[in-house]
Amino acid sequence: MSDKKLYCGVDVGASATKVVILEEDGTLVGHETRRTGVEAAEVSESCRDAILESLGLEKNAIALTGSTGFARDDVTFSDIKRTEISCHSKGCLLYFDGPMTIVDIGGQDNKIINLDENGKRTSFKLNRKCAAGTGSFLEEISTILNKPLEDLNGLAEQSETPVKLGSFCTVFTKTEILTNFRRGDRIPDIAAGAFESVIRRIIEMDPLTGNIVLTGGVVGHNPYIVKAFERVLGRPVRVPPHPQLTGAIGAALFAIEENSQGTE
């Protein structure tokens, strides 16, 4: 590995920071994910250093670094910065050909990105300023269910009849869940209902007519949402191998591209 050029990609999301190291051909050789907290610069650096340590490499093994995510400008060791919309597109194109519609379900926001047959972006949309339909919503639901967030997927898998949560608003949904409890609804059905609520918020954003690719931390940690999405859409959807890392991989791919342009 030591004779190959390596590239780092950093995606500083509102909830989690994801860092990857790629070889020039896009092969993923290491990755690390940690909660972003309030120290984006330190967290991204510690993620990178942890990967390098696990690979037995020094910082100078990395040729270039790309950063993305809301705190992309805070990554002190970044050489190239791109928005997460560009990086998710780039990351998905490593695994799939266009046309496609990328649905990224993150901790704080959702993105819908349309790419044409050449992989060019034709449009994109971000969710409204609201937690409904994002990972934050699921965190709130796990709190009211008094269950760890990581248990939500397993609970949903046990559901037979998902509860329909109708409210637009996370706070109202929590109140709605209290009503569900009083009515005797089962926790697995409420958990499944929470995932389906996330999907409903997303299908309000776009007709989702193309080939759907799902990415993001919510997708990475909750395979249930993929099945639920397919059920709602009535057709299969695709998921890249590391859905939560897609943005970071895209950032590293931009670094590779930059390097190749620089050496031409």
Interface with another protein includes 136 (CB under 8 A)? no
- Region from 82-90, 136-144, 167-175, 195-203 binding another protein, contact rule CB under 8 A: 82-90
Nearer to another protein, 134 or 197 (CB): 134
Instruction: Enter the tokens of residue 232.
Output: 């709602």
Between 7 and 224, name the residue whose CB sits nearer to another protein: 7
Query: Is residue 144 classed as helix, strand or coil in its secondary structure?
Result: helix
Of the candidate residues 24, 27, 53, 128, the single one contacting another protein (CB under 8 A): 128
> Segment contacting another protein (CB under 8 A): 24-32, 67-75, 135-143, 158-166?
67-75
Task: Please tell me whether residue 4 binds another protein under the rule CB under 8 A.
Answer: no
Q: Which of 17, 33, 44, 78 binds another protein (CB under 8 A)?
A: 78
* Closer CB to another protein, 229 or 254, in the complex: 254
> Which one of residues 15, 46, 83, 211 is an interface residue with another protein (CB under 8 A)?
83
- Give the 3-state secondary structure of 19-61: EEEEECCCCEEEEEEEECCCCHHHHHHHHHHHHHHHHCCCHHH
Q: How far apart are CA 168 and CA 151, in angstroms?
A: 24
- The smaller minimum CB distance to another protein, of residues 64 and 214, is found at 64
Question: Is residue 95 a contact point for another protein (CB under 8 A)?
Answer: no
Q: Cβ-count burial of 205 within 10 angstroms (0-12 exposed, 13-18 middle, 19+ buried)?
A: middle
35 near another protein, rule: CB under 8 A = no
Specify the 3-state DSSP secondary structure of 242.
Answer: coil
Nearest approach in angstroms of CB 228 to another protein is 26
CA distance 179 to 17: 36
User: Quick check: helix, strand or coil at residue 165?
Assistant: coil
Residue 248 binds another protein (CB under 8 A): no
**According to the binding rule CB under 8 A, does residue 120 interact with another protein?**
yes
User: How far is 74 from 245, CA to CA, in rounded Å?
Assistant: 19
List the one residue from 12, 43, 75, 145 that touches another protein (CB under 8 A). 75
- Establish if 96 lies at the interface with another protein (CB under 8 A): no
- Sign of the torsion formed by the C-alpha atoms of 193, 222, 25 and 32: positive
Shorter beta-carbon distance to another protein: residue 60 or 179: 60
Pairing, β 100-105 against β 110-115: antiparallel
Q: CA 191, CA 171: separation in Å to the nearest integer?
A: 16
Among 32, 124, 131, 220, binds another protein (CB under 8 A): 124
Q: How far is 188 from 221, CA to CA, in rounded Å?
A: 17
Among 49, 77, 174, 233, binds another protein (CB under 8 A): 77
Q: Give the binding site for another protein (CB under 8 A).
A: 59-60, 62-65, 70, 73, 75-79, 81-86, 109, 120-126, 128-129
